[in-house]
Amino acid sequence: MGHGQDAHRLVAGRPLWLGGLEIPAERGADAHSDGDPLLHALADALLSAFALGDIGQLFPPSDPAFAGIASREIVAHALEKIAAHAGAVTVGNVAAVVTLDSPKLGDQRKRIAASVASIIGIEPDRVGITFKTSEGMALDHVQASVVLTLIGEPG
């Protein structure tokens, strides 16, 4: 299993990316990359399963080569790191919690889950996404937490 978490500040004039999709919103994540907290938490969860560190080590914010990098590339790189370390591994299922007060995302759950599923090559019904508000306590904040399972090849 793996576990990852990520948060970004919400600012005007930035797109909001979640699970590899751009979401219509008044504010987006202030970040060095596209600031997709769901994919960042997912990539950290993948790396954590094999004690391979975290995405801040792989993609240092101080390195201009990674400015504006698409988060799906970060996830792809985490999958490559795992394959190099442990051989063929597939994701069993993903359980994600996204905390964001606005906009409401319940009607986009299937789209976001399908996007995450396609990025990691699993069926959409293996990607559960729970949306939560902060009850108004963190209005400038988007946060994601991901737990996932990994299945190795027998032998």
- Contact residues for ligand C5P, defined by CB under 6 A: 100, 104-106, 131-133
The sheet with strand 141-152 has its strands ordered as 27-29, 2-12, 141-152, 89-99, 127-132
Q: How far is the CB of 66 from ligand C5P (least distance, A)?
A: 28
Contacts of 96 (CB under 8 A, 6+ apart): 19, 38, 41, 42, 116, 127, 128, 129, 130, 144, 145, 146, 147
The closest alpha carbon to 127, from 116, 135, 137, 136, belongs to 116
* Residue placing its CB nearer to ligand C5P in the complex, 94 or 105: 105
- Give the nearest distance from C-beta 88 to ligand C5P in angstroms: 35
Residue nearest ligand C5P, Cβ-based: 106
Q: What is the dihedral of CA 15, 21, 23, 27, to 10 degrees?
A: -30
Residue 44: CB minimum distance to ligand C5P, A: 21
- Judged by CB, which is closer to ligand C5P: 66, or 131? 131
Q: Can you give the C-alpha Rg of the chain in angstroms?
A: 15
Residue type, 145: S
When the beta carbons of 85 and 132 are compared against ligand C5P, the nearer one is 132
Query: 82 vs 129, which CB is nearer to ligand C5P?
Result: 129
Q: Which is nearer to ligand C5P, 90 or 133 (CB)?
A: 133
93 and 128 Cβ atoms separated by less than 8 Å: yes
Instruction: Provide the minimum distance between the beta carbon of 133 and ligand C5P in the complex, in angstroms, as a whole number.
Output: 4
- Rounded to a whole number of angstroms, the minimum distance from the CB of residue 134 to ligand C5P is 7
